[in-house]
Amino acid sequence: MISAIVFIITTAIAAYFLVRSVKKIKRNIAFGKPQNLSDQPKLRLKTMIKVAFGQAKMTKKPIAFIFHSMIYVGFVLINLEVLEIMIDGLFSTHRIFQPILGGFYPVMIGFFEILGLLVIVACVAFLYRRNIQKIKRFEGIEMKGWPFKDANYILVIEIVLMSALLIMNATDSHLQNSASLPISGLIATLFNGMGEQNLLIFMKAAWWLHWIGILLFVNYIPFSKHLHIFLAFPNTYYSKLEAVGTIDNMKSVTTEVQLMLDPNFPLPENYVSPEGFGAKDVTDLSWKNLMEAYSCTECGRCTSACPAHITGKLLSPRKIMMDTRDRMVELGNAKDEKGADFHDGKSLLEKVSKEELWACTTCNACVEACPINIRPVDIIMQMRQFLVMEESSAPAELNNMMSNLENNSAPWQFSPTERADWTN
């Protein structure tokens, strides 16, 4: 009874803090402007199943795909054993599924153990790739400090969780004199000759370590890049369905121009004249842009594929998404402290430089490379629109071209009447 009460209290405390974190994330995403992405539900579902569930875009880097699949499949299926742990904790039972499943139970647990070992192997491999092999796409100015530590913390936590599970099974097999399982059976030899009381202490300690570790893990995720574990699915469901290279026109600009040309032009329903154009801060972006920022895995595939970055330009698409997320969190924390209507007077343009924005070629290599269909180009284009339309700020070459388009209907600095002179 005492064990069940402690279990319920610790779980309830963890659930409280998790709900609070989720509400903050939901509130921060709601800083974005409305965007209707409810069309073509069948195609959206197909996209989510293919990209998020099926990991289709991960296969472009086979080694990372193999190790990631070990962790992905392992954690999904091992949750069945976690469900048993939860029921045991609530009702003070022990392996409640064992009598129900009979002879299939050790087969299932043995399979989970193999998956658990594969998770450990994959985590060790990822730690090696990040810290010893130093894969280039894991580096960059945006990956200094916390982002670098965050990736390592998660991998270590996963190793600890899986190790606790295996130790729990190993000591429990001694206590029950049960059949040797494939992985914990090897570990169990370490406990040979140990008394029943000590075995029970080790088993209970591993059981609680695993459960408390899970509670800490799920509460850590909202502050980590591993939030993509949950957001990858809605993010891919609400993917942009148009061709990747499609750049949206600003409807507000189109409407304002039509009104200038024709005062009798019928206004769209509930139309409000825009206060500004483009995006200066996260509140000017759409909710989908902000969800993408939270969904970013910081894997660096976008940046490693970016031709501007490859040729030494300042642009890193990953940094654009990380800066957007950091700015969201910064604004959200300010509102938590000062009130919902407070704005700290800062902007996303203070984090993302003009040099970064104008280095983008809009080739969408970053979009093609992203495993979960994130679109850094959308944010870049909206911020460019603000610079041009609100601050008249653009590189001289671009200003010259736009001036020529306005005056000469062509990018070149000569009169339209002279356009065909070259034929002479």
Mean pLDDT of 65-74: 93
| Domain boundaries defined on the chain | 2-30+61-237, 251-408
Angle between helices 146-176 and 196-220 (to 10 degrees): 150
Kindly calculate the radius of gyration of the chain based on its CA atoms and give it in whole angstroms: 27
Contacts for 392 with CB less than 8 Å, ≥ 6 apart: none
> Which of 146, 263, 166, 258 has the alpha carbon at shortest distance from 206?
166
Contacts for 396 with CB less than 8 Å, ≥ 6 apart: none
> Which of 9, 57, 17 has the alpha carbon at shortest distance from 372?
57
Burial class (CB in 10 A: 0-12, 13-18, 19+), 61: middle
For residue 92, CA distances in Å to 8, 133, 161 come to 11, 46, 21
User: CA dihedral in degrees (54, 56, 58, 63; nearest 10)?
Assistant: 80
pLDDT given at position 79: 85
pLDDT given at position 250: 80
Evaluate if residue 172 carries a pLDDT over 70.
Answer: yes
Evaluate if residue 155 carries a pLDDT over 90.
Answer: yes
Euclidean distance between CA atoms 60 and 379, whole angstroms: 25
pLDDT given at position 56: 94
User: What is the per-residue pLDDT across 7-52, written as a single tens digit (0 to 9) for each?
Assistant: 999 999 999 999 999 999 999 999 999 999 999 999 999 999 999 9
pLDDT given at position 265: 85
> Which of 131, 133, 128, 124 has the alpha carbon at shortest distance from 155?
124
**Straight-line distance from the first to the last Cα atom of the chain, in angstroms, rounded to the nearest whole number:** 98
Same fold, 2-30+61-237 and 251-408: no
pLDDT given at position 272: 79
CATH code for the domain defined by 251-408? 1.10.1060
Euclidean distance between CA atoms 318 and 324, whole angstroms: 10
* Residue that has been written with the tokens 């799920």 in this structure: 218
- Asked if 137 and 126 touch (Cβ cutoff 8 Å), the reply is no
Counting residues of the chain whose pLDDT is more than 90, the rounded percentage is: 71
pTM greater than the 0.85 cutoff: yes
Evaluate if residue 181 carries a pLDDT over 70.
Answer: yes
Q: Which residue has the higher pLDDT, 268 or 220?
A: 220
Fold observed for domain 2-30+61-237:
Fumarate Reductase Cytochrome B subunit (1.20.950)
pLDDT band at 263 (very low <50, low <70, confident <90, very high): confident
> Which of 36, 32, 26 has the alpha carbon at shortest distance from 284?
32
Evaluate if residue 286 carries a pLDDT over 80.
Answer: yes
Token couple for 11: 């779980």
User: What is the per-residue pLDDT across 305-346, written as a single tens digit (0 to 9) for each?
Assistant: 999 999 999 999 999 999 999 999 999 999 999 999 999 999
Angle between helices 41-48 and 228-237 (to 10 degrees): 150
Q: Which residue has the higher pLDDT, 377 or 418?
A: 377
pLDDT given at position 179: 64
DSSP labels, 299-358: --HHHHH-HHHHTT-S--HHHHHHHHHHHHHHHHHHHHHH-TT---S--GGGTS-HHHHH
Token couple for 416: 């339209």
Mean of all residue pLDDT scores within the chain? 92
